[in-house]
Amino acid sequence: MKIYYEDSMPYAAEFFSEIGECEVFSHKTLNADKLADADVLLVRSTTKVNEKLLLKSKQLQFVATATAGTDHVDQHYLAGQHIPFISAGGCNAVAVAEYVLSAILVMSKRLNWQLVNKTVGIVGAGHVGSALARVLTVLGIKHKLCDPPLADAGDMRKFVSMHDIMQCDVISLHVPWVKDGLYPTQNLFDKSRLAVLQDNQILINACRGEVINNKAALALFEQGKSLNLVLDVWENEPSINLDLIPHTALATAHIAGHTIEGKARGTEMLYLALCKHLGIQADKKLSDYLPKAQPSPIKVSGKEDFWQVLHQLVLNVYNIETDDQYFRANMHSADQFRYIRKHYPIRREFSAIALKTGNFANSKAIYGVGFLPTI
């Protein structure tokens, strides 16, 4: 069996080498000729999987992407060829939730907020939205969920309307890019919806760029609109509107989900799916390969303020301002956007940090966010 996997998939060799003959590829040089003998194709979002790429892959029996998003895969074509397709939905949910928490903490400090008095509106209650809701619940931060498709499908959680969401202090977007149908998300935040946001609200987009009309946002900014806009995703990536960057509160290069755990979890999910497809026993797991949790350099004592401790711990693991500063200094072209994403430094999730909290009153919340207790 010939297995081709993209070079940006962590631990792919460790997971798949015993299943078949593995060959690593770069999306830059991949073509139909190279995949002529492929039985299995494993990609990330940088590889466009379509009829042109698979034209000569006559024995292909399994295609999968180690990402939550699937925009880069022509699923209609695969279905027509009776080729099973799997995605790693939810693999980066924890990473994106932690990105959003870092953004909220940074922005709350800038705006001199007390988060216990604020409400977060979550649009999209799938893997990521649910992960964010769990974190906010642990922290005692009020939040509301809006997801019409899930509500109509019978999800029993309490959902609110977009009207209710628009009243929230923070609005965080976690929906797929849907162009039409009953629940389109393209331009969900168009000029009219952006215009009614107040200068004491925060809008965060860490899902798909096309959910916010970037041209409309820029026009409002140029007209003097004050808006706290946090963008990790952009319309027309990688050829984004460079003029919008200076107006944003925080800006990054579609890296919210790019933790080593998130990427590696995607690899593990594809391994488990392939084993199931082939009817073989899965005997490897992610914990076999991830680096062990390291002690935190931050010492937590019983007398410290909870929010100050949380702020220090979260930003010690991931400070969104570092990525924001690098992005602003280096983002000048589509090629640079690709480069920043491709060469993004290794980032860990909170679970990579082990803590000893002693008699700290809010230890349960700290561990509930994702930090591990020292053993």
- The two tokens of residue 103 are 């953004």
Torsion of CA 335, 336, 339, 343, to 10 degrees: 180
- Of 254, 265, 341, 348, the catalytic one is 254
Give the 3-state secondary structure of residue 95.
Answer: helix
Whether residue 82 lies in the annotated active site: no
Q: Are 204 and 105 in contact (CB under 8 A)?
A: no
- Of 14, 72, 134, 237, the catalytic one is 237
- The two tokens of residue 11 are 């631990």
Whether residue 163 lies in the annotated active site: no
- The two tokens of residue 30 are 């991949």
- The two tokens of residue 249 are 């509160």
Integer-rounded Cα Rg, in Å, for the chain is 21
Give the 3-state secondary structure of residue 206.
Answer: coil
- Of 127, 208, 265, 348, the catalytic one is 208
The kind and range of the H/E element at 48 are none
Is the N-terminal amide bond of 238 cis, ω within 30° of 0?
yes
The kind and range of the H/E element at 231 are strand 228-231
Q: 199: which residues sit within 8 A by CB, 6+ positions away?
A: 226, 227, 228
Tell me the sheet residues that pair with 262: none
Whether residue 254 lies in the annotated active site: yes
| 314 burial level (CB within 10 Å; 0-12, 13-18, 19+) | buried
CA distances (Å), origin 13, targets 6, 21, 23, 249: 10, 10, 9, 40
Task: Give me the long-range contacts of 137-142 (CB less than 8 A, separation at least 24).
Answer: 138/364, 138/365, 138/368, 138/369, 139/115, 139/310, 139/365, 139/368, 139/369, 140/116, 140/365, 141/115, 141/116, 142/118
Distance CA 77, CA 57 (A): 13
The set of catalytic residues is: 208, 237, 254
